[in-house]
Copies of this chain bind each other. A is one copy, B any other.
């Protein structure tokens, strides 16, 4: 409702506005960046002193530190701890304008990006729109298995988890109480592993003393993975370690377990039905529809094929990067959808645009492997860095340090550090909020 009103009024305004922008357009090259994620923001920042006019478009007003989203979903952190206003991140950068709008298409012939209510011409385009949840051809599962890609999804999962314990506390039927206290995670990648560990710790440690009728330690957390092992992108030894660590926390790990159905009653997997109102989707993602807009070939995750300069075929003025690009590594294998990849690619795209402005020759993109890590719980993590493998406490401290370091903004870092310290020392977590029903409907905005 609100969003519709907002989008609609934005739309109307923008159709009018377009003329103004074009009328006053300067002659400097126009760089349009799509997405204020890790890639887009890095690209913008690299161009901060460049003689170009940058417009960064995102449907949100904030940059989101996605790797910690699961901590919002499991009530350790607040949304604002892992989000930073895009405008603030770029407020000192005078060549850059931010527009909050939903992108709807790209007209590659006329070099124009279309967004809800307007369009803008580009000389260079950086497409870094990331990915969204994918339900393997079963979009109807979405309403029963919330994914974890933005802050609303995270707070929705938080509400569901906390409410389930409230319901269980009032539930006289033993069977139903157990169902209420069962949580299924579909997908054993880093997000699934981190969520499973965090829900388990929330139940056994954080809220253990809060209830009178139920024993939160009877909480069941089931992690289902279709493939043969957890953390498929990690070395096998670390997958095994993660599984062992999770089992120590009481998580039921089911590998080779393909989900056949998700509905209001729960999940059917390997022929078995598990009754459970709390199913969360941590499995596949699909790229933003950049390939569709550009009319270019994509891989099966919807990622645009790009060359070693991050250009889609025949478009040296376009860079596609991060989760929405299939970019080759040195062996020709596609690079994984990780934050460090997107950040390095964003920085590279910025540098390439600078080089092109100076007619310097292009150097191919090379990913500098920053390793791969996942946290499992208190003092438990796995880290793969080149040939190195860390586990246990040392891996966990590494994970903490790296995530804090890359978290945008000093303020957020400090706050997150404090909340982690608090959670660690006191087994308390800070954001256990079930938000009230909206009692005041938003006023419809007068159109135009």
Residues of A at the B interface (CB closer than 8 Å) are 2-3, 6, 9-10, 13-14, 16-17, 20, 59-62, 78-81, 83, 85, 87-88, 91-92, 97-101, 117-118, 132-133, 142-147, 150-153, 155-156, 159-160, 162-163, 166-167, 169-173, 176, 207, 209-213, 264-265, 277, 279, 411-412, 414-415, 418-419, 422, 426, 428, 430-446, 448
CA of A115 to CA of B137, assembled, Å: 43
Residues of B within 8 A of A445 (CB): 264, 277
Asked if B166 contacts A61 (CB within 8 A), the reply is yes
Residue of B nearest to A426 (CB): B411
Chain B, residue nearest A117 (CB) = B170
Q: Tell whether, in the assembled complex, residue A172 and residue B418 are in contact, meaning their CB atoms are under 8 Å apart.
A: no
In Å, the complex CA distance between A443 and B276 comes to 11
CB atoms of A211 and B87 under 8 A apart:
yes
- Mind listing 29 A-B residue pairs with CB under 8 Å? A2-B159, A13-B171, A14-B170, A16-B173, A17-B170, A61-B166, A78-B79, A79-B431, A79-B433, A87-B210, A87-B211, A88-B432, A91-B209, A92-B209, A97-B213, A100-B434, A133-B440, A143-B443, A146-B442, A147-B440, A151-B433, A151-B436, A152-B435, A152-B438, A264-B444, A279-B443, A411-B419, A411-B428, A415-B430
A89 to chain B, nearest CB (A): 10
The answer on a CB contact under 8 Å between A79 and B435 is yes
Which B residues touch A13, using CB under 8 A? Answer: 167, 170-173, 176
In the assembled complex, the Cα of A301 lies from the Cα of B10 at a distance in Å of 41
Contacts of A412 in B (CB 8 A): 430
The answer to whether A436 touches B79, judged by C-beta atoms less than 8 angstroms apart, is no
Alpha-carbon gap, A445 to B2, bound state (A): 25
Instruction: A6 to B81: give the CA distance in the assembly, Å.
Output: 28
Distance of A406 from chain B, by nearest CB (Å): 19
- A80-B430, A434-B61 given; A150·B439 CB < 8 A: yes
A418 to B412, CA, bound (A): 11
Instruction: Say whether, besides A167-B10, A210-B91, A445-B264, A419 and B430 are in contact (CB < 8 Å).
Output: no
